[in-house]
Structure 1
Amino acid sequence: MDRETRVKMMIEEIRGQCLHKGVGALKELSVVFHHMDVDFSQRLCIQELERGMKNYGVKVDKEDLHMLFDTFDINKNNQIDFVELVSTLRPPMSKARVNVVKEAFKRLDFSADGIISIEDLKIVYSSNAKRHPKYVSGEWTEEQVLRHFLDSIDTPGNPDGKVTREEFMNYYAGVSSTVDDDSYFDLMMRACYDLPNKGEAKK
């Protein structure tokens, strides 16, 4: 078996174990590796990767470990940051799914700066927040509802109240893996974010 095939098999095995744990599994994996970042550099060396793999129950030998590290290390600086890790493990999505996720992100990113913030959501998502049960009951303010929404999508272990396009795509790649039909995924995203249907979007 050549190196490329072996790496693909290992990535699929790890991804499969993640998805078996549910929609939030890729985020859970990020938390595990965050805990392995003992020097708080937000990057992992190969020793930290090995420790993280063991803690997550993924067994790899030394040769495979080095191949995995090289695959995760996209910018080849001998370290893995969390974006590289999750980007590599993120389940692939069809072009149609990627497009509707991008459309949802664009709608929420009112300032068009590539980041969804509470200020953006106050403008484009306020009515949704005010329908949240904890807002209706008076337990949470509108800002708390919006922050909860952002934190649910933000990078685990390091929520900063802002969601980048990459973080948004990572989250919905996990959601996508639980939905078999492209049309249903599209319908779900449009309903969730009040996006126009395909016919309306072309007008």
Structure 2
Amino acid sequence: MYKQSQVENKRVLELLEQLRNQCLLNGVGGLKSLAVVFRRIDTDFSKRLCYQELDEGMKTYGLEVDQNDLKMLFDAFDRDRNKQIDFLEFVAKLQPPLSKRRIEVINQAFDALDANKDGVLKLEDLRVVYSSNARQHPKFISGEWTEEQVLQYFLDSIDTPGNPDGTVTREEFMNYYAGVSSTVDDDSYFDLMMRACYGLPNRRT
């Protein structure tokens, strides 16, 4: 993590909030789409960007930020002072903060899907625990998609954009639902939504 003194810089926090809000205007997948842009710029697959590449990515995605402010953000994340930043860390910092209650129910949903308990979601897991949900999908009902295609679509929608590998880690699952969470104001409603979606038991009071 970058230096605590920099994290506490009020202007840096304000800029992160502004960028987060701009990304979320593009919907639940806004932050994932930004990560895709950065991955395309990262031609050497180092997961690091120089200032010019960060600037290019921002402009490509359509984010508006003053050059002085962007330099301040870059410096805050350039913890090694090597004129490069970890863009995945940068994107992660833009994720809306999650309450303890939301984190708990997201973890419960992941655990419910992880049929073989290996910490990674794969098609095999979804076949075991999510097939009944897949058969309710409109494209399965219409005959346009097979059950396998529905499950693959669900997996791909959560997988890391720009770098799909057919599996979803707990971190990727959490990042996806951080985006969903940003569209739901109330903790109780988010909790109920997740429990209904994944057939989780009611929350104990």
Q: TM-score, normalised by structure 2?
A: 0.85
Q: Is the 8 A contact 2:28 2:183 kept in 1?
A: yes
CA drift at 1:137: 2.8
Match of 2:64 in 1: 58
Partner SS, residue 198 of structure 1:
coil
2:21 is equivalent to residue 16 of structure 1: yes
2:137 is equivalent to residue 142 of structure 1: no
What is the alpha-carbon distance in structure 1 between the residues aligned to residue 57 and residue 190 of structure 2? 32
Match of 2:39 in 1: 34
2:117 is equivalent to residue 115 of structure 1: no
2:101 is equivalent to residue 96 of structure 1: yes
**Structure 1: which 5+ residue stretches go unaligned?**
none
Question: Structure 1 residues 169 and 71 mapped into 2: Cα distance closer, same or farther (>3 Å)?
Answer: farther
Describe the superposition over 1:120-142 as per-residue Cα deviations: whole angstroms up to 9, x where unpaired.
11111111112222223332222
Amino acid at match of 1:60: D
Match of 1:129 in 2: 134
Question: Structure 1 residues 180 and 119 mapped into 2: Cα distance closer, same or farther (>3 Å)?
Answer: same
CA drift at 1:80: 1.3
Question: Structure 1 residues 133 and 183 mapped into 2: Cα distance closer, same or farther (>3 Å)?
Answer: same
Match of 1:195 in 2: 200
Partner SS, residue 167 of structure 1:
helix
**Range with greater deviation from structure 2 (52-61 or 177-186):** 52-61
Amino acid at match of 1:23: V
Question: Structure 1 residues 15 and 124 mapped into 2: Cα distance closer, same or farther (>3 Å)?
Answer: same
Match of 1:174 in 2: 179
Amino acid at match of 1:5: K
CA drift at 1:70: 4.3
CA drift at 1:75: 8.3
Describe the superposition over 1:95-127 as per-residue Cα deviations: whole angstroms up to 9, x where unpaired.
111111111111111222221111111111111
**Structure 2: which 5+ residue stretches go unaligned?**
none
**Range with greater deviation from structure 2 (9-18 or 135-144):** 135-144
Q: Is the 8 A contact 2:22 2:63 kept in 1?
A: no
What is the alpha-carbon distance in structure 2 between the residues aligned to residue 75 and residue 114 of structure 1? 31
Q: Is the 8 A contact 1:23 1:178 kept in 2?
A: yes
Question: Structure 1 residues 73 and 155 mapped into 2: Cα distance closer, same or farther (>3 Å)?
Answer: farther
| Aligned match for 2:162, one of 157, 164, 184 | 157
What is the alpha-carbon distance in structure 2 between the residues aligned to residue 158 and residue 44 of structure 1? 17
Amino acid at match of 2:195: R
- RMSD in angstroms over aligned alpha carbons? 2.3
Q: Is the 8 A contact 1:86 1:170 kept in 2?
A: no
What is the alpha-carbon distance in structure 2 between the residues aligned to residue 81 and residue 73 of structure 1? 10
